[in-house]
Amino acid sequence: MSSTEVAQARRIVTEIPGPKSQALQERRKKAVAQGVGSVLPVYVQRAGGGIVEDIDGNSLIDFGSGIAVTNVGNADPRVAERAGEQLSRFTHTCFMVNPYEGYVEVAEALNRLTPGGHEKRTVLLNSGAEAVENAVKIARSATGRQAVVVFDHAYHGRTNLTMALTAKNMPYKHGFGPFAGEVHRIPMAYPYRWPTGPQDCGREAAAQAIDQITKQVGAENVAAVLIEPIQGEGGFIVPGEGFLPALADFCGDNGIAFIADEVQTGFARTGRMFACEHEGVVPDLITTAKGIAGGLPLAAVTGRAELMDAVHGGGLGGTYGGNPAACAAALASIEAIESDGLVERAGAIGERMLTRLRALAERHDIIGDVRGRGAMVAIELVQGADDTTPNGEAMGRVVSYCHQQGLVLLTAGTYGNVIRMLPPLVIGDDLLDEGLSIIEEAFDRL
């Protein structure tokens, strides 16, 4: 259920961005560091369900969810009420000073919801990057090893270690080095661009990855293999079938922690509570953030008790990690996902989107690939049917047209040629269809 106050209809009454947004954008230039970008600078007044309302009175269809965060909808009344109730009792004590029940309840919920029936522990943090940093710390501490294996096209955050773990230079790493060491990058099972075609991509890529790890790094030196079960910023790359299970098995056989970074894919987004479940993979450690708390900043590492508890007392934490209001929001948000059937809803959204977008790809040679799982769907643009050279220019034109029509749409991809769609899981079918029609129109007008 979404905020009922926000009318669930697209309504465009000014140019996009409108005059008030443009004025604020000018003001912002003198106040906000220019390194912080905004995909679509319409300044927000309210949001709920599948709609973002701006300060000029426009209502835009939301295909972004604040980058996969508002899975349960923006300002969901249950999330707002529970977080508000908590805020009125106490705002902060620091769990490391005086603990509180909400933190323990969120840890219990994550231990229950994440894949695997083994005994687990959880630590709460503030952001996805901080969760990934902590997962690496835990893996290193528990294994006594240092090397971390990551993949082409990976994105794990903007802190120093997570920049090192991230693949793409511009804009994430450029000029920000030196980076942390003992990070080893290997090829990703990217079916659309795999040299022998998609059919055997998962199997071949796994063999190559394992060979590279054993020959170049030495399995006995590897603390962790860190992977997004579906790569997010890299362009919603769903790894070739069998790749994740083969890597997880290899890790299990060699005492390596298999870390699934589910920061973007988690909390029902892909039609499962966690994307690893699509191939029955049980990670040793799992990082979560974004969709966990309906928009409040919260993140977590959840994992095998023996790994998590290998870290010395006081070795994990942070002033705000597991803030009480964020914990309250997470508990309401998790309840909403479960009671509203949002895992199933994400699956239905995915089917609806993939069907329409695959039909669109039949009509347009520049759509090289339509892919995704659940409400995490992307289209990769190329030059033509026989030329898979990335087509960032066409992507820019399509996205710009959609923005003008009032559709919040995001981009991604190492080559800057992927349009990604992440609607809130509470969006209605009518808004979903209208958003897809705008995308179709954009391609038809190219």
Q: Coil, helix or strand for 276?
A: helix
Indicate the residue among 16 and 327 with the shorter CB distance to ligand PLP: 327
Distance separating alpha carbons of residues 414 and 234, to the nearest angstrom: 5
Residue from 129, 136, 300, 301 in contact with ligand PLP (CB under 6 A): 129
Helix (H, G, I), strand (E, B) or coil at 159: coil
Window of 51-59, 259-267, 325-333, 387-395 that interacts with ligand PLP by CB under 6 A: 259-267
**Distance from C-alpha of 175 to C-alpha of 177, rounded to nearest angstrom:** 6
Angstrom distance (rounded) from CA 365 to CA 383: 8
Closer CB to ligand PLP, 67 or 307, in the complex: 67
Instruction: Give 409's Cβ-side CA count (13 Å radius).
Output: 25
In the complex, what is the shortest distance from the CB of residue 123 to ligand PLP, in angstroms, rounded to a whole number?
A: 15
- Geometric angle at alpha carbon 148, from 147 and 154, rounded to 5°: 155
Q: Which range touches ligand PLP (CB under 6 A), out of 3-11, 39-47, 155-163, 358-366?
A: 155-163
Is residue 133 a contact point for ligand PLP (CB under 6 A)?
Answer: no
Q: Kindly tell me which residue out of 76, 261, 340, 369 binds ligand PLP, with binding defined by CB under 6 A.
A: 261
Position 347 contacts ligand PLP (CB under 6 A): no
Query: Among residues 290 and 403, whose Cβ is nearest to ligand PLP?
Result: 290
- Determine the Cα–Cα distance for residues 390 and 384; give it in Å rounded to an integer: 10
* Per-residue binder mask for ligand PLP (CB under 6 A), 172-211, x = binder: ----------------------------------------
If one asks whether residue 110 binds ligand PLP (CB under 6 A), the answer comes out as no
Residue selected from 8, 59, 127, 391 as contacting ligand PLP according to rule CB under 6 A? 127
Give the N- to C-terminal CA distance of the chain in Å, as an integer.
37
Q: Which is nearer to ligand PLP, 156 or 345 (CB)?
A: 156
- Compute the least distance from the CB of residue 417 to ligand PLP, in Å: 18
Residue 38 burial (C-beta neighbours within 10 Å; 0-12, 13-18, 19+): exposed
Q: With contact defined as beta carbons under 8 Å apart, do 434 and 11 qualify?
A: no
- x/- track of binding to ligand PLP for residues 226-245 (CB under 6 A): --x---xx------------
Structure tokens at 376: 């995490």
Binding mask 160-179 for ligand PLP (x = CB under 6 A): --------------------
Number of residues near ligand PLP (by CB under 6 A):
15
DSSP per-residue string spanning 155-218 = ---SSHHHHHH----TTTTTT--PPPSSEEEE----GGG-TT-STTHHHHHHHHHHHHIIIII-
Binding to ligand PLP (CB under 6 A) within 271-300 occurs at 289
Beta bridge mates, 410: 420
Q: Who's near 245: CB < 8 A, 6+ residues apart? A: 279, 280, 281
State the residue number with the nearest CB to ligand PLP. 128
Sites of contact with ligand PLP (CB under 6 A): 67, 127-129, 132, 155-157, 228, 232-233, 261, 263-264, 289
